[in-house]
Amino acid sequence: MAATAAATDIGFLTTFGKITGSTYTAFAEVTELNLPETARDSIDFSHFGSPDAHREFKPGLSDGGELSLTYNLVPGLADDAVIAAHLGARTVDDWRVVFPNGAQLNIKAFATAHGRATPMDDKMTGSATFKVSGKPVLMPAA
């Protein structure tokens, strides 16, 4: 069995933020980040003469998936304000995930959901979901 690669790491120090022009502004207090899962459609090309009465498929269009995050909520300020403003703007914007090793995942996306939770005996949290538009671009660490 192979040893774990030295570059393998935990998610601590991963950041997510918005790109405006050439400026990357990371969110302040993200606590969980679920990265997009790219998927591809399968197109049914079956016909009356398909071999052994089995369906035949070909690959279709790819879908960049969704990114979701949870953050420490400061209602109406900081990360909460950025997401609320973006959701209201109805635009596809540039966003970036920066991994601890310096690799970057760049996406074009728009917010599809924004939530807030205020439990009586725990920290308040906010959440958001972003739909990726186009192909996510992973840039390895330099």
pLDDT in tens, 7-45: 778 899 999 999 999 999 999 999 999 999 999 999 999
pLDDT tens-digit series, residues 105-116: 999 999 999 999
Which pLDDT score is estimated for 3?
80
Domain 15-139 has CATH 4.10.410.40: yes
Which pLDDT score is estimated for 116?
97
Contacts of 64 (CB under 8 A, 6+ apart): 36, 38, 107, 109, 132, 133, 134, 135, 136
Q: Following DSSP, what letter does each residue of 1-61 receive, concatenated?
A: -PPPPTT---STT-EEEEEETTEEEE-S-EEEEE----EEEEEE---TT-GGG---EEEEE
Residue 127 has pLDDT above 80, yes or no: yes
Instruction: Map out the domains of the chain as residue ranges.
Output: 15-139
pLDDT tens-digit series, residues 36-70: 999 999 999 999 999 999 999 999 999 999 999 99
